[in-house]
Chains A and B, each alone.
Chain A
């Protein structure tokens, strides 16, 4: 008995003493920058991203009687709690578990949407969306086209948690957006926080084309903002300029936006230059106009994403920027991304395109 007490005291003392060490080790690689711009007037509530997503689905289930939410473990609220309380509120025929089978979830969702329903499908981790790749790329994306517009599955939205989380290793960290960016017919969207998550998800759910909504899971709880309680939509296919500047254009999406905002701040403080930061938000189709206008102004462009470099979506941005802004570019487009390796477990701090790697690349870009 005494031994246990002693051990407890020892453990708590150790924890207390090393709290900073633990905080540093377990904390994320970014600082969250809340949105200061509100998309609509009216009441707001403090929500984290998980609550904002829950709120968007709640609004849809309330206003659209055809809407159903399904996936693995959503009935009890989901492993990330995004569906919390929705089954009690809307019944088990509208919010329900499916068997553990991603190709089934996607196919089932396409069928619901073909019959005119609003289908909100959840894939537990974006890493596990690949069994559904055929259904999403060959079926969902091509449904309207191949039928000459007779049939479509626009009512389908597939939600999946994506991105680094500190310790997710190979199969709880991936960012698969580039795979889907090569599939005409799909819309691919990534939010950067609670306000954008609610507005973009509501837009996806109303959208007449099938959408893949990738939720950076590290933001579920880390990020909290004053989110409007009413329904509102943030348009798909549009990027947002979050910070204006003239020295370089920094482009990212999801968690990486916060890394780039910090990099811009550091560049301002240490180098005395102002960078323009763009959140792309929609990967497919993407906002070429906003990006190219910005690069034409700044003459320099840095793209950063967590996914590997080769054939990552940064490649598409870089190619388009060089063909559209060739005469304005003062330096080659820089890409700061995950390495061309599977997403590792213990090496995560060295793998991610964190603020120091972005800052290093920015300095090179400016000195070119």
Chain B
């Protein structure tokens, strides 16, 4: 009996091996370093007999890629990107303009001339390094602190200032808070305040691009390390990987989410460590180093266009307050801020690099600062004088067509204003 069953077992075994040989289905390796690989559908891994519990220090921290040192000197020559003089100067000019715009608009909020503002201090290198590595067709999903990207793309300071004032020249028609920019023409999706919501959306847009024939467009999605704690961030990482989307997920890790330091935001090795765990190509870069960011995004774009998502974590420091509604000295020291303003300042680093190459000097700097300042002050004065859009714009674009209920409500408002108009600021709004 025992013999018979072992013979039939052998027969069965032989049959199974031959059918396996003939089959085109490839099976994973069943051995790894002499250890047997388990065949659970959820993971392909070897069995071990030693119990080992992993924690955040089981792995080396992901290193920070750098091209320039703090003095703007290239560390290894082969890593220096081959960028045109004009491109380099455009990048730098955008940084200076951005700084000047931040300074003046921040002050104007303090004077009550605009309702709200958020500066970009300390993060200029990430903006310009990444923007220069993309093509104008690549779609940008931003969080709110990426104005350098928008400037480099070609959004004019006039457009940006109009948005902050919500005047009739704002393409968003004054409906959104300041700094919520967007431009269809420049492929910049309008910013919204809810954090991380743009992340799975960026992945969806990338999927749509992937399906177009001969696709050469990718999507870049910016988000802060605080936003990365939202559920939408996890959704985006996982969808991007499993659905193989041409998307670059660009994290600006500036150490703070309003008052919350990153030590209270996560306990792992930053955001970058989450990338490989989700099957995403990942790199961590020095976000104060414009050239390192440029290199990383250039490479990421190449990988993304093969429908493999890439996560970039750019390390930096939020030098300014979170917004005009925040006083950051309530939760961090002036010395700490000072260190990042002077020693690791991305604008200064990039400027020193350009000076070393003989592309920039004190004179050019002063002229540009003065020009930018004057231009912004003038633009603001003009923007301030421009009327806000007609109040009826409040009822447009809710839907493609205005539903009956909304038509009725608009009429109601019209009748109300006929009688009580003098109690409303109608003079600063456009008339029919």
Contacts and interface: CB of A to CB of B under 8 A. Distances in A.
Q: Do A and B come from one complex?
A: yes
Interface of A: 66, 68, 93, 96, 98-99, 101, 103-104, 106-117, 119, 131, 134-135, 138-139, 142-152, 154, 184-185, 187, 208-209, 237, 285-286, 288-289
B134 to A, nearest CB: 16
Given A104-B200, A151-B182, A111 B397 contact: no
Contacts of A107: 197, 199-201, 203-204, 232, 235-236
A111 B200 contact: yes
Contact of A111 (B170, B171, B194, B206): B206
Contacts of A119: 204
A115 B235 contact: no
Given A107-B235, A139-B192, A150-B182, A288 B405 contact: yes
A133 to B, nearest CB: 11
B239 interface: yes
A211 to B, nearest CB: 11
Given A108-B239, A109-B204, A147-B184, 5 more contacts: A107-B199, A107-B232, A135-B232, A138-B194, A139-B197
B348 interface: no
B397 A135 contact: no
B334 to A, nearest CB: 37
A143 B205 CA distance: 14
B373 interface: no
Contact of B197 (A99, A109, A138): A138
B25 interface: no
Task: Give the 10 A-B CB pairs with smallest separation, nearest first.
Answer: A111-B204, A107-B200, A104-B235, A285-B403, A115-B208, A111-B201, A147-B190, A108-B204, A208-B400, A150-B184
B396 A149 contact: yes
A112 B236 contact: no
Contacts of B234: 101
B239 to A, nearest CB: 5
Contacts of A151: 182, 184, 189-190
21 contacts: A98-B242, A99-B238, A101-B239, A108-B200, A112-B204, A112-B207, A112-B208, A115-B205, A119-B204, A135-B232, A142-B192, A144-B399, A147-B172, A147-B190, A148-B171, A149-B397, A150-B172, A150-B183, A150-B190, A237-B404, A285-B406
Given A116-B208, A146-B190, A148-B172, A103 B139 contact: no
B398 A145 contact: yes
Contact of B180 (A68, A146, A185, A286): A146
A111 B208 contact: yes
B203 to A, nearest CB: 6
Given A150-B190, A288-B404, A288-B405, A93 B211 contact: yes
Interface in B199-239: 199-209, 211, 231-232, 234-236, 238-239
A286 B139 CA distance: 36
B282 to A, nearest CB: 19
Contacts of A185: 398-399
Contact of A103 (B189, B232, B405): B232
Contact of B207 (A99, A106, A108): A108
A76 B199 CA distance: 27
B274 interface: no
Contacts, number: 153
Nearest to A108: B204
B235 A117 contact: no
B201 to A, nearest CB: 4
Given A107-B232, A111-B208, A138-B197, A209 B400 contact: yes
A111 B403 contact: no
B171 A154 contact: no
Interface residues of B, number: 46
A63 B160 CA distance: 41
A138 B172 CA distance: 16
Nearest to A137: B194
A98 B243 contact: yes
Nearest to A138: B194
Q: Looking at B175, B194, B235, which has the most chain A CB atoms within 10 Å of its CB?
A: B235
A347 B404 CA distance: 40
A85 to B, nearest CB: 21
A145 B176 CA distance: 9
B173 interface: yes
Contact of A146 (B192, B238, B404): B192
B404 A145 contact: no
Nearest to B234: A101
A131 B231 contact: yes
Given A144-B397, A237-B403, A114 B201 contact: yes
A329 B176 CA distance: 42
B192 A104 contact: no
Contacts of B207: 68, 108, 111-112
A148 B170 contact: yes
A202 to B, nearest CB: 17
A151 B183 CA distance: 9
Contacts of A146: 172, 175-176, 180, 190, 192
Nearest to B402: A285
Contacts of B201: 107-108, 110-111, 114, 135, 139
A339 B243 CA distance: 42
Interface string B225-259: 00000011011101100110000000000000000
Q: Looking at B180, B192, B200, B238, which has the most chain A CB atoms within 10 Å of its CB?
A: B200
A289 B194 CA distance: 36
A285 B404 contact: yes
Nearest to A93: B211
Contacts of B242: 98-99
Nearest to B190: A147
A139 B194 CA distance: 8
A99 B239 contact: yes
B205 A68 contact: no
Given A96-B243, A150-B184, A115 B209 contact: yes
Contact of B400 (A104, A109, A138, A152): A152
A78 B383 CA distance: 54
Contacts of B406: 184, 285
B235 A103 contact: yes
Contact of B173 (A96, A106, A114, A148): A148
Nearest to A135: B197
A147 B182 contact: yes
A184 B409 CA distance: 13
B409 to A, nearest CB: 10
Contact of B200 (A103, A148, A152): A103
Given A98-B239, A104-B238, A150-B171, A111 B203 contact: yes
B53 to A, nearest CB: 26
B206 to A, nearest CB: 7
B399 A209 contact: yes
Nearest to A154: B400
A110 B192 contact: no
Nearest to B173: A148
A289 B236 CA distance: 43
